[in-house]
């Protein structure tokens, strides 16, 4: 649509803020939801725990989502399958040590804890999983990251409650028992089997795969896949 003859940067009239992305990676395990945290090495908040993140690189990142993917790929050597933007926060005082004005775009993601081997990265002395309940009441986290964790947990749980199943996170095939266990781990509470299945059926969210059955130490279960 643009009729400009040049796509090169006009130097902006005013200085722009320092822009970062932060990612709240939630991890599923038998012992409830976990969150991935790293210990900061540099100011501000040196030594304190924080969400992993990194600066936006306008030379490397096509768009904001790509920036979040790149930053997390550098940290985890893993392309996060389920990544959603939560909110943008920014102010003059956010990161005084590095810039007079800092803006962070916060994302959330969801993985299995055993898919990520906590490793040390740039500017972070290692990464560690922490239970979300613990993190949400930890007032020593850097920046406003405690709020961001609470927001990520709330949004993720709301999505599961509404059975807006995280496409890209749910495995391609599964039994209904596995799917229910997954939702229960995210919610942190038990669900009623009958109600859960009726909802899935009525809203046509899952489809049985003809002939595919999964057997264990008990009665074999029908294997399903997501609709669409």
Partner DNA sequence: TCAAAAGTGTTAGGCATACACCCATGT
Partner DNA sequence: ACATGGGTGTATGCCTAACACTTTTGA
Binding site for its own copies (CB under 8 A): 1-4, 7-10, 12-19, 43-46, 48, 55-59, 61-64, 85, 87-92, 96-101, 103, 105, 142
The distance of closest approach from Cβ of residue 29 to DNA in the complex, given in angstroms and rounded to an integer, is 17
In the complex with its own copies, the residue whose CB is nearer, 45 or 82, is 45
Select the binding partner of residue 137 from its own copies, DNA, none (C-beta < 5 to 8 A, by kind): none
d(CA 89, CA 48): 20
Contacts for 132 with CB less than 8 Å, ≥ 6 apart: 26, 32, 33, 34, 35, 149, 153
Select the binding partner of residue 41 from its own copies, DNA, none (C-beta < 5 to 8 A, by kind): none
Select the binding partner of residue 209 from its own copies, DNA, none (C-beta < 5 to 8 A, by kind): none
Select the binding partner of residue 122 from DNA, its own copies, none (C-beta < 5 to 8 A, by kind): none
Residue 193 sits at φ, ψ, to 5 deg, of: -60, -45
d(CA 171, CA 215): 17
Residue among 224, 202, 198 nearest 211 (CA): 224
CB distance 24 to 38 below 8 Å: no
**Out of 9, 195, 211, 228, the residue judged to bind DNA by CB under 7 A:** 195
d(CA 166, CA 179): 11
Instruction: Provide the binding-site residues for DNA, judged by CB under 7 A.
Output: 175-178, 192-195, 197-199, 202, 215-222
């Amino acid at each position: 649509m643009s009729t400009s003859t040049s796509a090169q940067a006009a130097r902006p009239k005013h200085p722009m803020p320092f822009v970062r992305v932060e990612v709240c990676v939630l991890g599923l395990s038998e012992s409830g939801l976990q969150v991935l945290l790293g210990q900061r090495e540099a100011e501000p908040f040196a030594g304190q725990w924080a969400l992993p993140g990194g600066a936006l690189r306008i030379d490397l990142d096509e768009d904001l989502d790509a920036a979040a993917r790149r930053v997390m790929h550098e940290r985890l050597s893993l392309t996060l399958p389920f990544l959603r933007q939560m909110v943008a926060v920014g102010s003059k005082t956010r990161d005084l040590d590095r810039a007079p004005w800092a803006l962070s775009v916060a994302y959330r993601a969801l993985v299995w804890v055993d898919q990520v081997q906590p490793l040390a990265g740039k500017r972070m002395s290692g990464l560690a999983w922490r239970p979300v309940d613990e993190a949400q009441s930890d007032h020593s986290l850097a920046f406003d990251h405690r709020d961001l964790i609470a927001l990520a947990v709330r949004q993720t749980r709301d999505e599961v409650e509404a059975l807006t199943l995280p496409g890209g996170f749910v495995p391609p095939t599964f039994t209904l028992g596995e799917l229910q266990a997954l939702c229960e781990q995210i919610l942190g509470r038990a669900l009623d089997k009958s109600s859960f299945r009726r909802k899935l059926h009525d809203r046509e969210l899952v489809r049985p795969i003809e002939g595919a059955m999964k057997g264990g130490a008990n009665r074999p279960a029908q294997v399903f896949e997501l609709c669409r």
